[in-house]
């Protein structure tokens, strides 16, 4: 465990020594704030015609938090490749991968250390999202349980993306290549359920099941379904396992 924490500290310092973390956090804050302001403005204008904030048939969770969760998921789809593309690619390009392999730190500790360092940066982004929920809670009466489940869904979605991105980064020494391939794979997982519009066969349903959006939908509605949790955890474990296998074969 000490080896894992050592790798985590190293990666965390690297994030903030270089502009990478600052760029990701700044972009996320700007984009998510724009989405939040736009949705909240429309909601407030609509609520003015129906009385007090959240009155009438308006629902702040349905009209602000649910679409905001999806938009933040899309934002993560674009930004997280910037986080994962360097995790192994930079080590390979800089020649420090051999040092890691010959160090007394276990391979699993290296992989988990890199993953949890990236996950820590993801939590920083989600803390910004919590700020939006706090603003709504201060002025209105949102369902906080539903908001908490939505945040859990985003955390699982982001962790799955990070695990897959870590795997892709282990295959190349070029960060740009790793980032592009990771983004394309994220995008395919995001739109996988579109295949049901063209067919209803077993293969279509199997591909649709791999869509991260169909599983995120329940979280945005405050529904904590075990099958959705298992889906994301399976992606996380699969990504980490395949990364370990990749590193074994590379030795």
Average pLDDT over residues 193-210: 69
What is the number of domains present in the chain?
Answer: 1
pLDDT band at 195 (very low <50, low <70, confident <90, very high): low
pLDDT in tens, 8-60: 888 888 888 888 889 999 999 999 999 999 988 888 887 776 544 444 567 88
The share of the chain scoring above pLDDT 90, in percent, equals 43
Q: What is the rounded CA–CA span in Å between residue 159 and residue 83?
A: 12
Q: Which domain holds residue 51?
A: 2-250
**129 CB contacts (<8 Å, ≥6 apart)?**
32, 68, 72, 151, 154
Q: Compute the C-alpha angle 233/238/244, nearest 5°.
A: 130
pLDDT in tens, 133-159: 999 888 878 888 999 999 999 999 999
Residue 81, phi-psi category: left (phi > 0), alpha (psi -120 to 50), beta (remainder): alpha
pTM to 2 decimal places: 0.88
Which range is least confidently modeled, 30-34, 158-162, 189-193?
Answer: 189-193
């Amino acid at each position: 465990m000490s080896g894992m924490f050592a790798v985590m500290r190293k990666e965390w310092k690297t994030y903030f020594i270089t502009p990478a973390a600052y760029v990701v956090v700044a972009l996320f804050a700007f984009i998510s704030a724009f989405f939040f302001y736009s949705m909240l403005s429309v909601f407030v204008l609509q609520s003015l015609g129906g009385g007090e904030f959240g009155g009438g048939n308006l629902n702040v969770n349905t009209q602000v938090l649910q679409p905001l969760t999806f938009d933040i998921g899309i934002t993560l789809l674009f930004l997280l490749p910037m986080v994962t593309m360097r995790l192994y690619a930079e080590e390979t390009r800089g020649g420090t991968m051999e040092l890691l392999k010959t160090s007394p730190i276990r391979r699993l500790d290296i992989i988990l250390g890199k993953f949890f360092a990236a996950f820590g940066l993801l939590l920083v982004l989600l803390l910004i999202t919590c700020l939006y929920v706090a603003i709504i809670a201060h002025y209105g009466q949102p369902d906080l349980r539903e908001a908490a489940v939505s945040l859990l869904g985003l955390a699982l979605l982001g962790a799955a993306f990070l695990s897959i991105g870590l795997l892709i980064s282990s295959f190349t020494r070029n960060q740009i290549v790793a980032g592009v391939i990771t983004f394309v794979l994220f995008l395919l997982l995001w739109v996988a359920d579109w295949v049901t519009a063209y067919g209803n066969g077993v293969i279509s349903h199997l591909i649709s099941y791999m869509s991260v959006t169909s599983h995120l939908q329940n979280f945005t509605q405050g529904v904590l379904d075990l099958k959705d949790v298992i889906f994301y955890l399976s992606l996380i474990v699969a990504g980490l396992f395949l990364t370990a296998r990749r590193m074994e074969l590379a030795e």
